[in-house]
Chains A and B, each alone.
Chain A
């Protein structure tokens, strides 16, 4: 139920963007329809892959690493 409500809100956002006013555009991205939706999705997924990957291959240590 909650899942479908969430999906409905996302769908509404997507549709709304076709009719949004773009007076306050700061740069080219503000003129692209669904720009911020793509930015959010790609940014979020990219960040998870990048950060978790970096942690996994390099940064991650036991919590008592410095005590050893």
Chain B
């Protein structure tokens, strides 16, 4: 059974990443970059329902467990790996591709894992591989952001590991199955917090808008797809129906979208918007009905494609112009028309326009909230949909490609491979919108939902049309300025500053003081003690040892005088002794 571990799609990506430098040497890196994800995309259809079971130190590890819920995520992850690799074909550094593929391997490994230990191993692989996608940008800011990203994820990983240990101590079973909300204890909640950190649930979300805008152009395309959606998968697998998730998810949708409205850096807007979109999925998982979990999975599938498409579009602009701030862009539609069209398709998909993938997935979660009679949550989700169209559907393309002012830059159109990547993303967005059954048939439960009914269409047109009217009326208040907004990373970024200050000033001063005292008092005392010990050693121990040694020598000398070595003396002494004994025995 152990050998069946080699059919794991993560193995394909890990070996693929290891062989990349070799293919680069023979000028075949571009071919290899397409072949491996394509193989994985085909291979996942032939996976058995269980494989890669290993006995290790008395634990039963399961590297592969495949069911409907796994399948929908595997499908979109491998598809996204293919699109992302094509988008990054022009990047020559093998290291960047290798980091991306190891990251994909981590994500696939987590998705397929049947027990918590395997989840944890691949979870950490994801964090450690993805940080290189930030560092490869090689700017001071990226390196700092990468370290912060790594620190936060290490902390999250430790919380998860703590939860796993407590869980094992309680039930003596590591298998990764659904937890019932009634039986959850501290252990399960710690595991859930570890998962929530990767899903960027506020207040532990700030790593995402901190790191993603600092990643490389292709790195961000990968990062926006995998970390958060893997977290959605593990939450859907283990924690469906937890009320906390429903509430936190609804808060997330608004929190992310509020920041997306006010931010200036295009990739930071998109990063905040991930928080909002993942909020829909977390909320769907929290509601926990069949329809809601279906909606969460469908939305994860659709979201990966259109958010990656948006990151590809904005990434292309960044690649060709070196700029990503709205305040420095504008009027690019003349020079990058294809990028503009693809980005707008991403924008209308994410806003849920009819005939795009957002329409058939997002509405499923909102309807599920309505069907479950959660009116407050439903209206929060609907309001977030308004904000989505406002911030990413209109504001972003408007200020980048059209805008009140022309930035004056005349960039070239993006490379052919970038356009191909964007085309694939855009095609999938529209394909799913036109033919939703393709996605619905993959979902974990049977779907009884029909997005294309007249009322839902009318509702959508009202919502989007009048949001656009609001934008039209108030566009002058949205003019971007070169600023950034505070978020909860303030606590650890400023906190780290204070920590360093405390270390440099009071702690360092105390250290100085203690070492002065030691030099003046402690050192003299130690020397005096050493002298005293040395005297004791000389006068006490040596005297005793030497004395006993002298005693032994003297005793030996006396014994030696008895031992004359002449046999007749010994026999004589023995006879005399025997005689003496006889006398004593006879007389007494």
Contacts and interface: CB of A to CB of B under 8 A. Distances in A.
Interface of A: 6, 9-10, 13, 16-17, 20-24, 26-27, 30, 34, 36-41, 43-45, 47-52, 54-55, 58-63, 65-66
Contacts of B471: 44
Interface string B363-384: 0000100110001001000110
B493 A66 contact: yes
Contacts of A45: 470, 473-474
Nearest to B268: A63
B462 A40 contact: yes
Given A26-B370, A59-B262, A62-B484, A44 B378 contact: no
A63 B483 contact: yes
B457 to A, nearest CB: 9
Contact of A41 (B454, B461, B469): B469
A27 B469 CA distance: 25
Q: Mostly helix, strand, loop or mixed at chain A's interface?
A: helix
B478 interface: yes
Interface in B417-470: 453-456, 458-459, 461-470
B484 A51 contact: no
Given A44-B470, A59-B485, A51 B463 contact: no
Interface in B376-395: 378, 382-383, 386-387, 390
A47 B386 CA distance: 9
B83 interface: no
B268 to A, nearest CB: 10
A41 B455 contact: no
A49 B382 CA distance: 18
Interface in B89-108: none
A13 B470 CA distance: 16
Nearest to A22: B455
B135 to A, nearest CB: 18
Contacts of B367: 26
Q: Mostly helix, strand, loop or mixed at chain B's interface?
A: helix
A17 B458 contact: yes
Contacts of B468: 6
A29 to B, nearest CB: 8
A21 to B, nearest CB: 6
A38 B386 CA distance: 11
Interface string B467-501: 11111111001100111111100000110000000
B375 A48 contact: no
Given A24-B453, A47-B261, A63 B467 contact: no
Contacts, number: 134
B365 to A, nearest CB: 13
Contacts of B462: 13, 17, 34, 36-37, 39-40
A41 B456 CA distance: 18
A51 B456 CA distance: 28
B261 A51 contact: yes
A21 B466 contact: no
Contacts of B335: none
Nearest to B496: A66
Contacts of B493: 66
A51 B384 CA distance: 13
Contacts of B265: 63
B466 A10 contact: yes
A51 to B, nearest CB: 4
Nearest to A67: B141
Contact of B470 (A27, A40, A52): A40
B258 interface: yes
A29 B486 CA distance: 36
A37 B261 contact: no
5 contacts: A6-B468, A39-B386, A40-B470, A45-B473, A60-B481
A21 B246 CA distance: 30
Nearest to B210: A66
A62 B455 CA distance: 46
B458 A61 contact: no
A58 B486 CA distance: 8
Nearest to A3: B472
Nearest to B459: A36
B375 A23 contact: no
Given A48-B474, A63-B265, A66-B494, 6 more contacts: A26-B378, A39-B386, A40-B463, A45-B473, A48-B261, A48-B470
Contacts of A16: 458
A13 B458 contact: yes
B485 A48 contact: no
A35 to B, nearest CB: 8
Contacts of A30: 455, 459
Nearest to B258: A51
